[in-house]
Amino acid sequence: MKKLKQQDKAVYQAIQNEKKRQQEGMELIASENYVSDAVLEALGSVFTNKYSEGYPGKRYYGGQDFTDVVEDLAIERAKKLFKAQHVNVQPHSGAPANMIAYSALLKPGDKVMGMDLSHGGHLTHGHPVTLSAQIYNFVGYKTNDQGKIDYDALEKMARKEKPKLMLAGFSAYSRRINYRRFTQIAKKVGAISMIDIAHIAGLIAGKALVNPVPYFDIVTTTTHKTLRGPRGGMIMCKKKYARAIDKSAFPGFQGGPHMNNIAAKAVAFGEALEPSFKKYAEQILKNSKVLEMELKKYNFKIVFGKTENHMVLVDVFGSKGVTGKELEVALDKVGITLNKNVIPDDPRSPFDPSGVRIGVPAVTTRGMKEKDIVKIVGWINEVTENINDDKVLKGIRKEVIGFCKGFPLHK
């Protein structure tokens, strides 16, 4: 970064400070991860200079010899990872990927069944503040008192609502989805089936969770989070929807793809095909289960009962009398980063909710294992119990810095 340091000291210093923050703290936000040095290099490559509107072999500008190479590599590797019939790697992120899919499949006013946000669903699955909810008619389904999706109730709702699209997927739900039952219900009511696997794509690629791609008509995902690639999106689908999806992505929704990002996606997908990635995915599930059990030991209330993936949702207000925002702020002071989060039918505001969401993908990338998760939960509990004691928090901060030095990031 010699050139950057010389030319723009302010930006250079911000990058150095962020690097230090990441090294001296630990990331427990379920949607974040650390990419490899190889992914970072591809992301910062000369492909950022190139406009490549269109698709491999059918571009609108010349000079596409090598852009086609990296996009084809990304597509073929994704197909191999997920056993997908068709892949589009051009979406800039997860929210655009979902909008592209909706646009390809629906007309304004069409009905979509998606998971309620407070029950673990995603903002783009029908929350009123989003553009998609202003265009399409979303109805939300919820979990039951046991923290599960009641598929009999879901089928009853689907028969009543008759949606054009049935949408599975989540951002804060810690249980697994019955793919077969979900898609059977969609077929019964004549709906297209779609799932957003943004959070669990890496666990699927690493064969730690069942692959939903063969079951669903459309599958969207981000390429960061558990998949450990650059910040971006991807759509996989059955061949019958391929033309509609591609046309919706370009020219329908986006202009030129970000070829540096696609090159980095290709690198990340290549890494996910390595045997070591399977071990990584398995370790995530081990760490997540220890996270759940240790939190229960300190009498934290686990929403949805337990975890079956990479994260837990905790009702900290109900179990400790501390709001999600208060705990997030206090943990930030000691270098432990997570996010406040609503719980099902939360009576509190989304800006100061009852819960926090905790995930282990990033710390697992750094090499942390079960015994390390035990230590981390101990700190979380200590912060919760001493949330207004700055002296205690400063002491924990020193311990966290020392601990994190044992798990170095990028050189």
Catalytically annotated residue among 124, 130, 143, 222: 222
Tell me the average pLDDT of the chain.
Answer: 96
Which is more confidently placed, 410 or 34?
A: 34
Q: What is the pLDDT of residues 106-140, one digit of tens each?
A: 999 999 999 988 888 888 888 888 899 999 999 99
Task: Respond yes or no: is residue 159 known to be catalytic.
Answer: no
Q: What is the pLDDT of residue 403?
A: 98
Is residue 226 flagged as an active site residue? no
Catalytic residue among 196, 294, 315, 326, which?
196
Whether 150 is a known active-site residue: answer no
What average pLDDT score do residues 75-95 get? 98
Q: How far, in Å, CA of 331 to CA of 324, rounded?
A: 11
With a cut of 80, say whether residue 410 has pLDDT above it: no
Catalytic residue among 77, 164, 225, 320: 225
Equal fold, 39-272 vs 277-404: no
3-state secondary structure of 293: helix
Element (H, E) at 15: helix 9-24
pLDDT band at 411 (very low <50, low <70, confident <90, very high): low
What is the pLDDT, as a whole number, of residue 124? Answer: 85
Q: Quick check: 296 pLDDT over 70?
A: yes
Query: Taking the domains of the chain in order of start, what are their residue ranges?
Result: 39-272, 277-404
Q: Give me the pLDDT at residue 122, please.
A: 86
Q: Which of 176, 181, 231, 289 is catalytic?
A: 231
Tell me the pairing of strands 311-315 and 137-141.
unpaired
Catalytic residue among 12, 24, 50, 51: 51
Active site residue 151: no
The conformation of residue 276, written as its DSSP 8-state character, comes to H
Tokens standing for 172?
A: 């804060």
| Segment 376-390, tens digit of pLDDT | 999 999 999 999 999
Rounded Cα distance, 285 and 274, in Å? 18
**53 classed as catalytic:** yes
pLDDT tens per residue, range 350-380: 999 999 999 999 999 999 999 999 999 999 9
Task: Tell me phi and psi for residue 390, to 5 degrees.
Answer: -60, -30
307-to-78, 116, 286, 304, 372 alpha-carbon distances in Å: 27, 19, 11, 8, 18
The DSSP secondary structure of 153-209, one letter per residue, reads: HHHHHHHHH--SEEEEE-SS--S---HHHHHHHHHHTTPEEEEE-TTTHHHHHTTSS
The number of beta carbons lying within 10 Å of the beta carbon of residue 187 is 12
Torsion of CA 126, 147, 82, 35, to 10 degrees: 80
To which CATH superfamily is domain 277-404 assigned? Aspartate Aminotransferase, domain 1 (3.90.1150.10)
Residue 147: pLDDT band with limits 50, 70, 90: confident
What's the mean pLDDT in 4-20?
Answer: 97
- Please confirm, yes or no, whether 225 is among the known catalytic residues: yes
**The CATH classification of domain 39-272, taken from the options 1.20.20.10, 3.40.50.2000, 3.40.640.10, 3.90.1150.10:** 3.40.640.10
In contact, 362 and 28? CB cutoff 8 Å: yes
